[in-house]
Amino acid sequence: MDNRDEIRTFLSSRRAKISPAQAGLPERGRRKVPGLRRGEVAELAGVSIEYYAQLERGNLSGASDSVLDALARALQLDEAERSHLYDLARAGGPATQRRRRSPGTALRPSVQYMLDGMTEVPAYVRNGRLDILVANALARALYAPAFDSPVKPANTARFNFLDPRARDFWFDWDRALDETVALLRTEAGRDPYDKGLSDLVGELSTRSDAFRTRWAAHDVRLHSTGAKHFRHPVVGELHLTYESLEMPGEPGLTMLVFTAEPGSPSADGLRMLASWSATQNSPTPR
């Protein structure tokens, strides 16, 4: 992935989403393309047209925080998009400020011990490519179809786009696809030179029209907390909330923990799932 191309397409795509009326500008003649012109963005951001054109060509490395903030305001970026803009600027500099996890580095055993101690909630650790690196028994049961894949480690992006079971697994499959691509696009902004991520994007772009279309939209999102809705093949519908926790001791990795509202049908479903998981993992009696 080329960082300059990523910057160029991200800025131009955000510019195309804003009409002059939304930006508080008067209409100035007929427009051949939707959205704001470069000169209008420059005017709103308080920079010269020449400088904004340089930024949109992909040269963000020398932009100050004040310039990036002005761009974010001019383009009406949300929190996720603003963070992505800063990630793109950092990644385009001489050295990325974010420490990344070295490929192939094993997780500390204590991480697995911690997950195994969480017996009543599904929990797993993933990287930015959405590989599930370690999980507790209940998370393995929750994502059983994804763990069935012969390709290891289990990857939720590959499952969502390439496994036909994903249509039934997710209560809203289209939303799951949108979120998946937005997460990968966000990670690409943080680390555009991750070969594993480039390979995954190339594979999904080649094999999935749905992925290719969404990837071209350049949408990004934060994944800190929210709800996920499952149609589990064993226990049926599960409506769970999740918390996404960055792991300071494991740079680039995130722990996801799922919970159900106490006394709800989904809480009963998790207990059933735990019982089913125990029968799957218990040794066969002689």
- Full-model pTM: 0.87
Of residues 66 and 3, the one with the higher pLDDT is: 66
Of residues 15 and 1, the one with the higher pLDDT is: 15
Q: How far is CA 155 from the centre of its chain?
A: 13
Q: How far is CA 148 from the centre of its chain?
A: 22
pLDDT grade for 98, boundaries at 50, 70 and 90: very low
Q: How far, in Å, CA of 81 to CA of 85, rounded?
A: 6
Q: Tell the residue number behind the tokens 């996920």, with chain if given.
A: 228
Q: Which domains does the chain have, with CATH numbers?
A: 3-91 (1.10.260.40), 109-281 (3.30.450.180)
Pair 10, 84: CB distance under 8 Å: yes
Average pLDDT value for residue range 199-224:
95
pLDDT of 101 over the 70 cut: no
66: DSSP letter: H
Residues in Cβ contact with 16 at an 8 Å cutoff, skipping those fewer than 6 apart = 33, 34, 35, 36
Dump pLDDT digits (tens) for 154-200: 999 999 999 999 999 999 999 999 999 999 999 999 888 889 999 99
Q: What angle do CA 264, 269, 273 make, to 5 degrees?
A: 150
pLDDT at 279: 86
% of the chain surpassing 90 pLDDT: 74
Pair 15, 41: CB distance under 8 Å: yes
106: DSSP letter: P
Dump pLDDT digits (tens) for 239-276: 999 999 999 888 889 999 999 999 999 999 999 999 99
Residues 140-145: contacts with CB within 8 Å, 24+ apart? 140/277, 141/234, 141/273, 141/274, 141/276, 141/277, 141/280, 142/230, 142/232, 142/238, 142/258, 142/273, 144/232, 144/233, 144/234, 145/169, 145/233
pLDDT at 27: 78
Residues in the chain: 286
pLDDT of 117 over the 60 cut: yes
Q: How far, in Å, CA of 200 to CA of 206, rounded?
A: 10
